[in-house]
């Protein structure tokens, strides 16, 4: 038995969808534990591309169960649209998808508040997707949220909605000059959503713990990345949940003693979307090359990603926060044509070198990256499935990353397709209890 957490080691967009898709073969259940439809996982199977936002990537395997855990926030319409799109492509979700009754629902007012707040911040905006994720988590922590289980209890849903709208409508009118929202219209829409989603809503924590007790393998899927974690990321330029591995326990209702290992997904370079500090960002031809060659555009928003060199300071910090038992290195092939490749080994702050990650975003914004240079390999690695078949300089580059981060690289992605992968250690075998 093995219960493996898969989490991004940088600012998200590391290629978790493909790795989860591959590892699903060895699991019985794939469970998502945080975030909302602000996330996007891309999986390429043959000539088909699938972009998933709320539904775990394991849904593409027809014999696997998938869980949307209590730590996820759900826009019912977005989820229904995603399910419709999946089913139109011949993938059945009935009897395989399970939604936690404790997962909180994104309401129409959350979206309005999210977008209004971003506009009001002006140049100091966070760079959210404007989809209501943050305000939904605010209501969750404020103990006035509406949960998926409430869809099954119309009277409870109506009472919570009316209570929330009393306060929300005052804010909308006084702060944003927006007409008050109508409870009847929202109630009608959400009861329509309830009819479609009711068969999926259940006690997923109980289900998962029963599966674990029965010796089943659970693959635990995070969204975003460690540097966007509300507690450990580049605050305030972070998401509103806990993508780090510790969030898996609270986001699913699984005890920490039942986690077998943590696989960190890390790009061969670094990217981020949205605002906030990015020490190795390249605003030059090399940055443009990485973006164009790597297809660095958000799966959810289409926004161009900011690109830069690999940052070993971030890698070490992420390894500490998550307790990685292994790494999956993605997009190695994007570097194939470069003559020289740089790795940031430490930062320089006001003339002083530091090897640790500063928590103050103002300090991080001001740091100067200290680089080591490595020769490129100038050969194609696309589609490689054997580590020893990689060019020597590529193998050396991977070894340097292992040494600098302090974690072995177990998997290496060499292209978009499912079969373009090198597996040095199967996490479900290497980390099993």
Q: Is 41 a catalytic residue?
A: yes
Compute the Cα dihedral for 236, 240, 246, 250 and give only its sign. Answer: positive
Q: In which element (H, E) is residue 413 found?
A: strand 409-413
Query: Helix, strand or coil for residue 65?
Result: strand
Residue 207 contacts residue 100 (beta carbons within 8 Å):
no
Q: Distance between CA atoms of 421 and 310, rounded to whole angstroms?
A: 20
Residue 67 contacts residue 252 (beta carbons within 8 Å):
yes
Buried b (16+ CB within 10 A) or exposed e, 142-168: eeebbbbbbbeeeeebbebbeebbeeb
Is 320 exposed, middle or buried, given 0-12, 13-18 or 19+ CB atoms closer than 10 A? Answer: middle
Q: Which of 308, 267, 276, 279 is nearest to 291 (CA)?
A: 308
On the CB side of 54, CA atoms within 13 Å amount to 30
Distances from the Cα of 17 to the Cα of 42, 406, 429, angstroms: 5, 24, 20
Options 13, 75, 333, 410, the catalytic residue:
13
Pairing type for strands 310-311 and 340-349 reads parallel
Spatial CB neighbours of 154, under 8 Å, sequence gap ≥ 6: 191, 194
Residues in the chain: 433
Q: Distance between CA atoms of 165 and 182, rounded to whole angstroms?
A: 8
Q: Is 47 a catalytic residue?
A: no
Is 398 exposed, middle or buried, given 0-12, 13-18 or 19+ CB atoms closer than 10 A? Answer: buried
Spatial CB neighbours of 375, under 8 Å, sequence gap ≥ 6: 339, 340, 341, 393
What is the chain's percent helix, strand, coil content, to nearest 5? 40, 20, 40
Options 21, 37, 41, 114, the catalytic residue:
41
Catalytic annotation, residues: 13, 41
């Amino acid at each position: 038995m093995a219960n493996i957490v898969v989490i991004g080691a940088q600012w998200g967009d590391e290629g978790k969808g493909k790795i989860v898709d591959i590892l699903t073969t060895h699991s019985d259940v794939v469970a998502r534990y945080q975030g909302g439809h602000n996330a996007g996982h891309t999986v390429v199977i043959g000539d088909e591309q699938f972009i998933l936002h709320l539904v775990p990537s394991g849904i593409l395997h027809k014999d696997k169960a998938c869980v949307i855990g209590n730590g996820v926030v759900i826009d019912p319409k977005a989820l229904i649209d995603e399910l419709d799109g999946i089913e139109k492509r011949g993938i059945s979700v009935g009897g395989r998808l399970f939604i936690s009754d404790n997962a909180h629902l994104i309401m129409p007012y959350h979206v309005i508040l999210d977008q209004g707040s971003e506009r009001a911040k002006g140049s100091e905006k966070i760079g959210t997707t404007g989809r209501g994720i943050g305000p939904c988590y605010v209501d969750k922590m404020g103990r006035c949220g509406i949960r998926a289980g409430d869809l099954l209890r119309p009277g409870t849903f109506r009472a919570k909605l009316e209570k929330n709208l009393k306060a929300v409508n005052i804010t909308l009118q006084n702060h944003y000059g927006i007409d008050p929202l109508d409870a009847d219209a929202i109630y009608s829409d959400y009861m329509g959503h309830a009819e479609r989603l009711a068969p999926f809503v259940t006690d997923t924590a109980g289900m998962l713990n029963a599966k674990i007790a029965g010796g089943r393998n659970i693959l635990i899927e995070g969204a975003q990345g460690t540097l966007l974690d509300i507690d450990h990321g580049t605050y305030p330029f972070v998401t509103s949940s806990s993508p780090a591995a510790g969030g898996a326990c609270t986001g699913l209702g699984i005890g920490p003693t039942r986690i077998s290992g943590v696989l960190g997904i890390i790009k061969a370079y670094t990217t981020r979307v949205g605002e906030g500090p990015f020490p190795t960002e390249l605003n030059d031809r090399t940055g443009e090359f990485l973006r164009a060659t790597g297809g660095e555009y958000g799966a959810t928003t289409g926004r161009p990603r900011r690109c830069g060199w690999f940052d070993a300071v971030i890698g070490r910090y992420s390894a500490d926060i998550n307790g990685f038992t292994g790494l999956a290195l993605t997009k190695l092939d994007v570097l194939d044509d470069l003559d020289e490749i740089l790795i940031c080994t430490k930062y320089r702050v006001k003339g002083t070198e530091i090897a640790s990650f500063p928590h103050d975003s103002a300090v991080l914004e001001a740091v100067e990256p200290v680089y080591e240079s490595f020769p490129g390999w100038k050969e194609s690695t696309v589609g490689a499935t054997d580590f020893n078949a990689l060019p020597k300089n590529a193998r050396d580059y991977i070894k340097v990353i292992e040494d600098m981060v302090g974690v072995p690289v177990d998997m290496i992605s060499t292209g978009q397709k499912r079969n373009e992968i090198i597996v040095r250690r199967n996490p479900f075998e290497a980390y099993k209890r």
